[in-house]
Amino acid sequence: MVEDRTKEDFEQAKSKISQRDNDAMDALKTLFYNKASIYYACLVSVGREKFSDKAIVECGQEPMTELIAGFNKAKEYSKNPNVEKCETNARPAKEEADFPPYVSLAEDDVRLYDFEAMRICLTSR
């Protein structure tokens, strides 16, 4: 369910990016991998008994807001001298092990991030 919807949305977005723009393609794959992970975690968290579209949307609202905000500030954040340290610290290793990227998103640079933890790290003084 999550994989099919993610693949469909990803293919639509991918068609709008030049294949030569590797950075944009990597960012797009990371975006969709993180989005799929959020919704997968919500499906697991909500469970079969309490499943509804509304419950999934509510569960994913905060992490999706952080995800979108992180991508909107990516250019600004990339100039931060702590970006590598913050990215490393914001990697949820257990979630990456439990939820590897779909084949259509798999790349060496595609990672999951806790975007809230990354934002806090990058904006702390």
Higher-pLDDT residue of 105 and 119 is 119
Residue 11 binned pLDDT confidence (cut-offs 50, 70, 90): confident
Range of the domain at 36: 2-123
Q: What is the pTM for the complete model shown?
A: 0.82
Across 28-32, average pLDDT: 91
Cα 43 to chain centroid distance, Å, stands at: 16
Higher-pLDDT residue of 15 and 119 is 119
**Assigned token pair, 65:** 């807001």
Across 56-78, average pLDDT: 93
**Assigned token pair, 16:** 């709008």
How far apart CA 91 and CA 114 sit, in angstroms, is 6
Across 24-53, average pLDDT: 89
For residue 19, pLDDT over 70 is answered with: no
What pLDDT score was predicted for residue 50?
86
Our count of domains for the chain comes to 1
Across 72-93, average pLDDT: 93
Q: What CA–CA distances, in Å, run from 104 to 2, 29, 63, 77, 118?
A: 13, 9, 23, 27, 25
